[in-house]
């Protein structure tokens, strides 16, 4: 399918694009992209403004349900080139201390058996291939805590619910595509696509406003640029989730059968997750199933394989729900053993001479930047707290509630004074209680080790951990007015807040589960 209707999607408000496995009862976590099923549903809504939709409507069946037209996922748009980025291959690795380093060399384990001391996936979920190397980016998230009460004037346990939304942040631009064999079908869809102005959940609560821009029809559109083929192997990479069935009718964990490949992969870097959906008309969820996750990589022996036939099959999409963007496949997309990263993900700014700001305006911009910095740190704190303590059993072998409370008081003292030594001194002074802390666990880590590691973070590690690796927020070119002493104070207080909040949850869990008391 080389005919494509491409567009950019600008988020005016945060967008909540959740999936079945993405949240617990009192929270909702978005996908990192805008799924094709969401775009398709919005276009169908606009179609219904002009037509009655029923099972006998041949046009609607062809455009939205047959798979003849496929609504692909909208991934981040490259900021400089306005091109659709793609999911990062799961076979790429860097050393642990290079995670988040946008200039680290990327080693592809699908192509070469690299020997790394501590291999980790690089930072950035999406990739763009340019002439000067590849560029990795992440989407930005907007975290909001909401409350719901039977009586809006009364907030109390049993009468109120607290829940958390983690949505795609406003201001971001995504690039999408709708592909079809028949270009006339795309011309039919274009006016309905241009009417789309809301996407996702919680649309009455300040979420979902979008603007569709730059709608263009392309007759020879390519989803990716293939690299030079390797003589002895074929590299298959999923560009979206895929629901593929094996010979027995069950869901498969490799794409080989759908591509006509009978051999087993020599290497695979696969991830599986549960996918579902929601039917707004009936108010019911769609059946859930295990999908091979976007970015999964499979390496097959080249003997007996027709690359042209594979590329043709991949262009049509494989498996189920291809109309919603599932089953997109790349053949020989990345075949180099190592990839160099580009220097910048930002568009080059034009040479414009700006008038100098007055001292009052500069001070105001610095104060605004300081508020943005604090807000960003607060969002990161909430995300880390929920990630660390939001599961069913995040803690193990906790010491007594009294010991946890004393440690929490030390963390609060560090929070108030800005001196993390209060935390270190508390644990250094432990005698018999030290053995109890040796056994305490947070997730899969010793709780005491987690605390000491936080207290000892260097500046760069702190910035990566709290999502400041790209630099401090700016307003009108000004960052927060912060000398080294003020920065160290902010760092210490932020670290102490994280430790204090985690210990607060530990005290609560200890009282509820072990001692049976109330928090």
Q: What would the pLDDT profile of 117-143 be if each residue is shown by its tens digit?
A: 888 888 889 998 877 788 888 888 877
* pLDDT at 280 (0 to 100): 57
Higher per-residue confidence, 482 vs 356: 482
Greater pLDDT, 160 or 117: 117
**Secondary structure (3-state) at 47:** helix
The whole-angstrom distance between residue 380's C-alpha and the CA centroid of its chain comes to 14
Number of domains comprising the chain: 3
Quote the pLDDT of residue 40: 92
Query: Is the per-residue pLDDT at 33 higher than 90?
Result: yes
Q: What is the mean pLDDT of residues 445-460?
A: 90
- The pLDDT, as a whole number, for residue 370 is 84
Average pLDDT of the segment spanning 428-435? 86
In a domain? residue 310: yes
For residue 326, what is the DSSP state? T
Alpha-carbon span 38 to 44, nearest angstrom: 10
pLDDT of residue 151: 54
Pick from 451, 459, 461, 452: nearest CA to 501 = 451
Q: If DSSP states are collapsed to H, E and C, what string results for 436-493?
A: HHHHCEECCEEHHHHHHHHHCCCHHHHHHHCCCCCCCCCECCECCCCCHHHHHHHHHH
- Please tell me whether residues 183 and 249 are part of one structural domain: no
What is the pairing mode between strands 173-180 and 75-76? antiparallel
Q: At 328, is the pLDDT very low, low, confident or very high (cuts 50, 70, 90)? A: very high
Predicted local confidence at residue 423, as pLDDT = 92
Q: Between these two residues, 289 and 320, which has the higher pLDDT value?
A: 320
**Three-class secondary structure of residue 245 per DSSP:** strand
Instruction: Tell me, yes or no, whether 184 lies in a domain.
Output: yes
Assess whether 265 and 169 both reside in one domain.
no
Judge if 153 and 24 occupy the same domain: yes
pLDDT above 50: residue 100: yes
Please tell me the predicted confidence (pLDDT) of residue 460.
87
Q: Do 8 and 148 have their domain in common?
A: yes
Q: What is the CATH number of the domain that holds 284?
A: 2.60.40.4350
* 8 A C-beta contact, residue 20 and residue 37: no
* Residue 147 confidence class, pLDDT cut points 50, 70, 90: low
- Please report, for residues 72, 387, 400, 507, the alpha-carbon distance to residue 515 in angstroms, rounded to integers and kept in the order given: 52, 25, 9, 10
pLDDT digits (tens, 9 = 90+) for 498-509: 999 899 988 888
Region 449-478: mean pLDDT is 84
Residues 405 and 426: beta-carbon distance below 8 Å: no
User: In this structure, are 212 and 242 located in the same domain?
Assistant: no
Q: Are 19 and 54 in contact (CB under 8 A)?
A: no
The model's confidence at residue 146, banded by pLDDT at 50, 70 and 90, is low
pLDDT value for 349: 37
Query: Cα(82)–Cα(137) distance, rounded to whole angstroms?
Result: 14
Tell me whether residue 302 is in a domain. yes
Of 191, 218, 245, at which residue does a domain stop? 218
What would the mean pLDDT of 214-219 be, rounded to a whole number? 89
Q: What is the pTM of this model?
A: 0.64
Reference 479, options 403, 365, 402, 399; nearest CA is 365
User: Which of 178, 195, 218 corresponds to the end of one domain?
Assistant: 218
| CA 465/CA 457 separation, integer angstroms | 9
CA distances from 276 to 17, 57, 128, 171 (A): 12, 26, 28, 27
Mean pLDDT of 72-87: 89
DSSP string over 278-299:
EETTTTEEPPPEEEEPTT-EEE
For residue 373, what pLDDT band results from cuts at 50, 70 and 90? confident
One domain, residues 267 and 192: no
Residue 427 belongs to some domain of the structure:
yes
> Is residue 101 assigned to a domain?
no
For helices 359-389 and 484-509, what crossing angle results, to 10°? Answer: 30
In a domain, 119, yes or no: no
SS3 call for 317: coil
Query: To the nearest whole number, what is the mean pLDDT of the chain?
Result: 83
Q: Which residues pair with 92 in a beta bridge?
A: 108
CATH code: domain of residue 14: 3.30.70
**Quick one: pLDDT at residue 353?**
44
Same domain? For 205 and 69 the reply is yes
Co-location of 311 and 208 in the same domain:
no
The residue out of 152, 187, 218 marking a domain boundary is: 218
Find out whether 89 and 108 touch, Cβ atoms under 8 Å.
Answer: yes
- The answer to whether residue 59 scores a pLDDT higher than 80 is yes
Give the Cα separation of 35 and 50 in Å (integer).
24
Say if 356 falls within a structural domain: no
Q: Which domain holds residue 486?
A: 362-515
- What mean pLDDT do residues 342-354 have? 45
Do 368 and 286 belong to one domain?
no
pLDDT 10s digits, 162-193? 667 788 888 899 999 999 988 989 999 998 99
**For residues 455 and 472, which has the higher predicted lDDT (pLDDT)?**
455
What pLDDT score does 350 carry? Answer: 38
- Do 253 and 391 belong to one domain? no
In this structure, are 320 and 399 located in the same domain? Answer: no
**CA–CA separation, 417 vs 218, rounded Å?**
61
Q: Do the domain assignments include residue 408? A: yes
Token pair 């309905």 is found at: 192
Q: How many whole angstroms separate alpha carbon 248 and alpha carbon 258?
A: 13
Distances (CA, A) of 2 to 184, 224, 354, 356: 13, 12, 45, 50
- pLDDT (0 to 100) of residue 175: 93
Partners of 175 in the beta sheet? Answer: 8, 75
* CA dist list (Å): 71 to 37, 120, 198, 241, 404: 7, 32, 16, 13, 52
| Model confidence band, residue 74 (pLDDT cutoffs 50, 70, 90) | very high
**328 and 378, same structural domain?**
no
CB distance 239 to 224 below 8 Å: yes
For residues 233 and 300, the answer to whether their CB atoms sit within 8 Å is yes
Least confident of 28-32, 404-408, 514-518: 514-518
Cβ within 8 Å of residue 113, ≥6 positions away = none
């Amino acid at each position: 399918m080389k005919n494509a209707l491409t567009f950019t999607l600008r988020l005016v408000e945060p967008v909540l694009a959740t999936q079945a496995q993405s949240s617990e009862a009192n929270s909702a976590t978005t996908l990192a992209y805008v799924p094709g099923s969401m775009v398709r549903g919005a276009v169908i809504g606009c179609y219904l403004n002009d037509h009655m939709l029923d099972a006998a409507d041949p046009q609607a069946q062809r455009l939205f349900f047959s798979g003849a037209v496929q609504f692909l996922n909208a991934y981040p748009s490259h900021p400089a080139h306005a091109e659709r980025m793609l999911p990062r291959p799961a076979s790429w690795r860097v050393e642990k201390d290079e995670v988040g380093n946008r200039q680290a060399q990327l080693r592809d384990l699908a192509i070469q058996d690299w020997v790394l001391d501590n291999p980790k996936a690089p930072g950035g979920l999406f990739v763009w291939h340019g002439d000067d190397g590849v560029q990795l980016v992440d989407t930005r998230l907007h975290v909001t805590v909401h409350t719901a009460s039977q009586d809006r004037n009364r907030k109390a346990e049993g009468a109120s619910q607290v829940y958390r939304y983690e949505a795609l942040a406003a201001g971001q631009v995504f690039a999408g595509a709708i592909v079809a064999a028949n270009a006339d079908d795309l011309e039919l869809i274009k006016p309905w696509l241009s009417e789309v102005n809301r996407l996702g959940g919680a649309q009455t609560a300040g979420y979902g406003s979008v603007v569709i821009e730059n709608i263009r029809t392309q007759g020879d559109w390519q989803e990716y640029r293939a690299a030079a083929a390797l003589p002895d192997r074929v590299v298959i990479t999923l560009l979206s989730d895929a629901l593929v069935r094996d010979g027995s009718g069950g869901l498969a964990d490799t794409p080989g059968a759908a591509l006509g490949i009978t051999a087993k992969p020599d290497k695979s870097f696969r991830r599986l997750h549960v996918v579902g959906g929601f039917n707004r008309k009936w108010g019911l969820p769609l059946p859930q199933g295990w999908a091979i996750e976007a970015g999964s990589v499979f390496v097959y022996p080249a003997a007996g394989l027709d690359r042209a036939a594979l590329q043709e099959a991949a262009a049509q999409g494989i498996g189920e729900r291809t109309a919603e963007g599932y089953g997109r496949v790349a053949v020989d997309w990345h075949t180099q053993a190592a990839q160099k990263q580009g220097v910048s993900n930002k568009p080059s700014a034009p040479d414009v001479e700006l008038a100098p700001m007055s001292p009052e305006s500069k001070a105001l911009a610095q104060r605004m930047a300081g508020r943005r910095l604090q807000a960003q740190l607060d969002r990161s704190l909430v995300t880390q707290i929920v990630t660390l303590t939001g599961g069913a059993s995040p803690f193990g072998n906790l010491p007594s509630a009294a010991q946890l409370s004393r440690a929490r008081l030390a963390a609060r003292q560090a929070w108030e004074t800005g001196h993390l030594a209060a935390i270190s001194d508390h644990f250094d002074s432990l005698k018999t209680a030290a053995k109890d802390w040796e056994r305490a666990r947070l997730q899969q880590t010793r709780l005491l080790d987690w605390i000491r590691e936080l207290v000892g973070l260097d500046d760069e590690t702190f910035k990566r951990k709290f999502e400041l690796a790209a630099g401090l927020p700016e307003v009108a070119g000004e960052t927060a007015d912060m000398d080294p002493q003020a920065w160290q104070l902010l760092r210490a207080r932020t670290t102490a807040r994280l430790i204090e909040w985690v210990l607060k949850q530990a005290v609560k869990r200890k009282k509820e589960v072990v001692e049976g008391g109330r928090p």
